[in-house]
């Protein structure tokens, strides 16, 4: 056994994979959650979205995998974590974000933090397959209902129980509270469909970014880091002009994406439509295609880097294709 150990150790030294006992002990002392904290502290200054970055780190730390020591983290554990999240209904893209964050933290530890991580096990974990594209847009009735409920003056929000024993039927011990909606909910829904802008891009749009005379807007903080100039339809500009001035110059001054998502859920709940805000971008892209825009024009308006990325958003219905063929004769 001693001879085998010597040969194995010698081979590890020659290949550069040998870890001393002292270094190995360090991996037995550092938990994944602690590594995530270190990674956050070292990289937050360079983050384009520091608040979102902080949220993602804190969210990942809630999972059991964050309590493991680095010495316990291997491909089997990571694959089980992947499968567990998928079984709970998490989207493949969400699971990949979790794994990606762990991977970036491990790479940072290996390269710059003098934490003796031998290799990155995430690199060997098979990526979950993306779900098939869902052909989901709102029909005219659903769209009108969404706009109607986005214009409501209040929403009912179920009260929280102070004591579970005080619950009677489906009611709490005090009446449901009323919650005032965002004053710009209707405008932002219409604006998103008209412009194809991403949620974050809309939240960051300021008065100085819009030229009403030329009907254009500059998107300075884009997802892919490339600022772009887009066109604004008369209906889109009408939404902006109807909004009161804000304290910071933004047209849609929302505190955080999480706050907005809470209001959005109330609207779609009452409107009885299974639809997320990002799908308005899908609808807008299809609207433009149906109105005669070329793929290149839609790609420029929406800021898609590649045609493949744009194709995931297009849900061109067979009826529209049949109409085009009929027009051709």
Instruction: Note the pLDDT tens digit of each residue in 29-41.
Output: 889 999 999 999 9
Inside any domain, residue 133:
no
Domain contains 135? no
- Cα separation, 295 vs 305, in Å, equals 12
Integer Cα distance of 132 and 122 in angstroms: 24
- The answer to the question of residue 253 being in a domain is yes
Domain stop point among 99, 124, 149: 124
Whether the per-residue pLDDT at 324 is higher than 90: the answer is no
Note whether 172 and 281 are same-domain residues.
yes
| Least confident span in 141-145, 231-235, 289-293, 322-326 | 322-326
User: Are 116 and 234 members of one domain?
Assistant: no
The mean per-residue pLDDT over the stretch 159-165 comes to 45
Of 164 and 135, the one with more pLDDT: 135
Alpha helices in 219-306 (DSSP H): 234-241, 257-271, 279-290, 295-302
Average pLDDT over residues 175-185: 66
Domain that holds residue 266: 140-328
27-31, 64-68, 268-272: which is most confident: 64-68
pLDDT value, residue 259? 83
Residue 321 inside a domain? The answer is: yes
Residue 131 lies in a domain: no
Tracing tokens 């520091």 back to the chain, one arrives at 50
183 and 303 housed in the same domain: yes
160 shares a domain with 21: no
Total domains, the chain: 2
Please indicate, yes or no, if residue 314 is contained in any of the structural domains.
yes
Rounded Cα distance, 163 and 167, in Å? 7
What global pTM score does this model have? Answer: 0.65
Residue 132 lies in a domain: no
Domain CATH number, residue 198: 1.10.443.10
> Mean pLDDT throughout 294-300?
89
Q: What is the pLDDT of residue 170?
A: 40
Confidence band, pLDDT 50/70/90 cuts, at residue 144: very high
Whether residue 285 is found in the same domain as residue 218: yes
What per-residue confidence (pLDDT) applies to 206? 94
pLDDT at 50: 84
Same-domain pairing of 262 and 318: yes
Residue predicted with more confidence, 17 or 42:
42
Q: Which of 155, 156, 73, 88 is CA-nearest to residue 121?
A: 73
Same domain, 146 and 222: yes
Write phi, then psi, for 210 (nearest 5 degrees): -115, 135
Per residue in 1-16, pLDDT (tens digit) is 677 777 776 776 666 6
Residue 271 lies in a domain: yes
| Whether residue 232 is found in the same domain as residue 282 | yes
- For residues 266 and 152, state if they share a domain: yes
Q: What CATH number corresponds to the domain at position 82? A: 1.10.150
Residues 160 and 253 in one domain: yes
Give tens-digit pLDDT for 77-120.
999 999 999 999 888 989 999 999 999 999 998 888 888 788 89
Contact indicator for 78, 43 with CB cutoff of 8 Å: no
In this predicted structure, the answer to whether residue 233 has a pLDDT above a threshold of 80 is: yes
Do 114 and 209 sit in the same domain of this protein?
A: no
Q: Note whether 97 and 170 are same-domain residues.
A: no
Task: For the chain, give the longest Cα–Cα distance.
Answer: 84
């Amino acid at each position: 056994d001693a001879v085998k150990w010597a040969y194995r150790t010698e081979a590890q030294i020659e290949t550069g994979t040998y870890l001393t006992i002292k270094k190995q002990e360090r991996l037995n002392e550092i938990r994944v959650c602690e590594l995530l904290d270190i990674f956050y502290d070292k990289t937050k200054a360079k983050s384009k979205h520091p608040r979102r970055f902080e949220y993602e780190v804190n969210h990942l730390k809630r999972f059991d995998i964050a309590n493991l020591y680095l010495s316990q983290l291997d491909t089997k554990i990571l694959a089980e974590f992947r499968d567990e999240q998928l079984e709970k209904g998490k989207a493949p893209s969400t699971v990949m974000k979790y794994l990606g964050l762990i991977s970036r933290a491990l790479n940072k530890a290996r390269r710059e933090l003098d934490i003796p991580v031998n290799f990155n096990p995430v690199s060997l974990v098979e990526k979950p397959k993306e779900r098939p594209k869902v052909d989901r847009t709102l029909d005219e009735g659903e769209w009108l209902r969404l706009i109607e409920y986005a214009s409501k003056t209040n929403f009912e929000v179920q009260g929280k129980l102070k004591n579970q024993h005080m619950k009677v039927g489906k009611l709490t011990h005090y009446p449901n509270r009323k919650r005032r909606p965002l004053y710009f909910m209707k405008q932002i829904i219409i604006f998103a469909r008209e412009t194809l802008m991403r949620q974050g891009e809309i939240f960051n749009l300021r008065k100085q970014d819009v030229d009403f005379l030329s009907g254009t807007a500059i998107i300075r903080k884009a997802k892919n880091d490339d600022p772009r100039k887009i066109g604004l339809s008369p209906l889109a500009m009408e939404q902006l002009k109807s909004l009161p001035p804000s304290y910071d110059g933004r047209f849609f001054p929302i505190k955080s994406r999480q706050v907005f998502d809470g209001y959005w859920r109330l609207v779609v709940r009452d409107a009885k439509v299974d639809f997320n805000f990002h799908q308005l971008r899908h609808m807008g892209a299809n609207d433009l295609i149906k109105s005669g825009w070329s793929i290149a024009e839609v790609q420029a308006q929406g800021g898609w880097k590649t045609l493949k990325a744009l194709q995931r958003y297009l849900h061109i219905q067979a009826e529209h294709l049949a109409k085009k063929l009929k027009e051709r004769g």
